[in-house]
Chain A
């Protein structure tokens, strides 16, 4: 018994350390001023990094807003497509279902970069390149496979019985969707939504290619900073990045997860 407990504790603390330490380091870096090698502790602490971040001249806040707007739009569009797609694949049998399932996953197997070259040319022809809408559309490529997959499993788990029950009780198609299907798939929408937002939010390459350097998202500012070795600024941007994703997750949970359901053991 005693030995088991020790192993469990070692593993637990090791995990906590592994997850928490990089974050702690980020926190320290974000508030440190001069920190020459080989000092163990920074010589001074300052808020300079944060001042730089807030300064409108550096465009950090603006790019954060751009990222959030793109992320929210991508999440919304992806979920909008994934609900009917997931339902069709989760509940209905149709010819070629297996092939469709594989095709939906294809963007995960084929490197997006290979596809994006071709898409870029077409977007230029269509006047979508270097535009907001183009970036949003191209973000659908890496997000849709995950989201459709999650919604397919959600519908598979849910089945169509609740809808049938609502139907015999006199609910029309729209009523069934709003009052029954939507609340019952909300846990799936929640998982898919967070995943999609984070994928879109951390997208660098696709945004860079299609946005052509005109659509400046948060990651496009963050990457050079991490590369250049300005640890303080990189730490500030990283913390903001984490906070943004976290806030979005909490907001999604407020909107989508019904507190009454959590108590219910039927909750999927």
Chain B
């Protein structure tokens, strides 16, 4: 249960930079998701932490002590591979107890730890089964139990859920969360599925092309992403270009007063479609930016209605998700209310 610090970690495979100066801190007993598309260096990061790959430059510290020189078997960072890799020639008990046996733990203690772990992963009494007799989801749970058996300093999970059938995913998500809460294991898991990351992780590290874009709680990443990449990763987003002057925001910097004012900052505003409101009459509130607009498209999706709205002052149409609070037809003139408090200001 260690604090993991990654400093300026870089790794190249044949000239191709897979990781570029990655910096990441995972607190003790925290669960962090590494989120990003395939090929962004997530799995490489896990392998570097476990020691299966050697870093080109940079350092990895567990509780402040560098482990970069330690061989894999002495690091205590247990990686659970995507393919779960249960040893096919050993039964479930021997699989789970493998790490303990290797470190010379007594048989009695091993047996009781196996029983305890099988209960934790909801597979009691499976000791004598062979891996081949188990379903994919069960195998994944055994792989998890096997990793937990050695009380690792950090648990590394490589896409633990993505390989499973859709109906097993929720179960596995909850299990991972439950285990995390019961065992208080520092956990880093890799995923390309944003929902998985949002639902399971304490914090999410969004990666792109081998470097970290942003790390934060699920809410922080959804509400206030630092750039377009992160914003788009967590759902649909509307972008409005403009200038910020104090608390005021001027779309397209169109306000004439602004032209002489050098303090105005050029900004990109990101706001999620569900935060926008459409009304027939104009509301005015200091927090709201109200724009006269026209509906150009309406799609009805049951509990939601998707609108595409063109505002007079904006170049690009905006997307609005309405939860059946109003009902407009395409072509109608409406007022678009943008709550700036719920918007994120991104760097251009």
Contacts and interface: CB of A to CB of B under 8 A. Distances in A.
A263 B132 contact: yes
Contacts of A180: 87
A204 B89 CA distance: 39
Interface string B43-81: 000000011100000000000000000001111111101
A13 interface: no
Interface stretch (B97-105, B159-167, B242-250): B97-105
A184 interface: yes
Contacts of A267: 88, 132
B73 A167 contact: yes
Interface string A235-268: 0000000000000000000000010110111110
Given A260-B130, A264-B130, A264-B131, A168 B52 contact: yes
State the majority secondary structure of interface residues on A. helix
B72 A162 contact: no
Nearest to B74: A170
B50 to A, nearest CB: 5
Contacts of A266: 88, 131-132
A261 B88 CA distance: 7
A162 B52 CA distance: 12
Interface string A148-173: 00000000000001101111111110
B91 interface: yes
Interface centre among A170, A175, A267 (most CB of B within 10 A): A170
Range of interface residues on chain A? 20 to 34
A183 interface: yes
Given A261-B89, A266-B88, A169 B150 contact: yes
B247 to A, nearest CB: 52
State the majority secondary structure of interface residues on B. mixed
Contact of B83 (A161, A171, A258): A161
Nearest to B103: A170
B132 A175 contact: no
B85 A162 contact: yes
B73 A184 contact: no
Contacts of A260: 89, 91, 130
Interface of A: 161-162, 164-172, 175, 179-180, 183-184, 258, 260-261, 263-267
Interface of B: 50-52, 72-79, 81, 83, 85, 87-89, 91, 98-99, 102-103, 130-133, 146-147, 150
Given A170-B103, A172-B73, A265-B132, 13 more contacts: A165-B85, A167-B72, A168-B73, A168-B78, A169-B146, A169-B147, A171-B98, A171-B99, A183-B89, A184-B88, A258-B89, A260-B91, A261-B88
15 contacts: A162-B87, A164-B81, A166-B102, A168-B77, A169-B102, A169-B146, A170-B102, A171-B73, A179-B102, A184-B87, A264-B88, A264-B131, A264-B133, A266-B131, A267-B88
